[in-house]
Amino acid sequence: MSLQRLGRFSVLVATLTFGCTSPTAPLHVDATVRFAATVEGGCWSLVTTANTVYEPVDLPSAFRIESLPVRVVLGDAPGWVSICGAGPLVHVVLIQKR
């Protein structure tokens, strides 16, 4: 396989892998808010009861509490990027404490 073909194949695999892990319809889940400290500051994530990790692009500040149990509705966040790479990027459509 040529190097050019291998590069295209790698891009296709990465696109399918990351594209298939984001919710396409609103996703209703119970989760726990987590904070991961990094060199750049840190990142908030939502860890579901099934141990799936999502990275919210707009987690409200009132819910930025480590280990807070929440019930959340998540939507896709196309076009967003993050340096954290904790999980698929999502919008918080609705959130409440459990």
What would the pLDDT profile of 49-63 be if each residue is shown by its tens digit? 999 999 999 999 999
Mean pLDDT within 6-35: 64
pLDDT of res. 85: 87
Check whether 15 has a pLDDT greater than 70: no
- Cα(77)–Cα(91) distance, integer angstroms: 6
Domain layout of the chain by residue ranges: 3-97
Residue with tokens 């904070």: 35
- Whether the model clears a pTM of 0.85, i.e. scores above it, the answer is no
For residue 50, how many other CB atoms are within 10 A of its CB?
Answer: 8
pLDDT of res. 38: 74
Choosing among 2.40.50.500, 3.20.20.70, 3.40.190.10, 2.40.110.10, the CATH entry for 3-97 is 2.40.50.500
